[in-house]
Amino acid sequence: MINVLVELARCEEERQDTRHRLAGDRARLEFLAELGQECAEDAVEAEGEAARSRASLRNQETRIAELETALVRKRAQLAAAGEAKQRQALEREIAALQERIDRDFEEYCRLSGETEHRRDDADRARTDRDDRRLQEDREREAILARRGLLEAAAAEIEQEIARLQDLLPDQIRRHLERLWSKGLQAVVTVSGQACGGCFALLTPQQAIAADQGKDLVRCPSCSRFVVHPPWQ
Using CB under 5 A, which of 32, 198, 201, 208 touches Zn ion? 198
Minimum CB distance to Zn ion smaller for 94 or for 201: 201
Q: Which stretch binds Zn ion (CB under 5 A): 3-11, 167-175, 176-184, 195-203?
A: 195-203
Minimum CB distance to Zn ion smaller for 153 or for 198: 198
195 binds Zn ion (CB under 5 A): yes
Could you tell me the smallest distance in angstroms from the CB atom of residue 202 to Zn ion? 8
Could you tell me the smallest distance in angstroms from the CB atom of residue 196 to Zn ion? 8
Using CB under 5 A, which of 6, 90, 219, 227 touches Zn ion? 219
Q: Which stretch binds Zn ion (CB under 5 A): 98-106, 126-134, 170-178, 214-222?
A: 214-222
Minimum CB distance to Zn ion smaller for 43 or for 195: 195
Minimum CB distance to Zn ion smaller for 90 or for 202: 202
Q: How many CA atoms lie within 13 A of 232 on its CB side?
A: 17
Contacts of 29 (CB under 8 A, 6+ apart): 140, 143
Q: Cα–Cα distance between 27 and 23 in angstroms, integer?
A: 6
Residues that bind Zn ion (CB under 5 A): 195, 197-198, 200, 219, 221-222
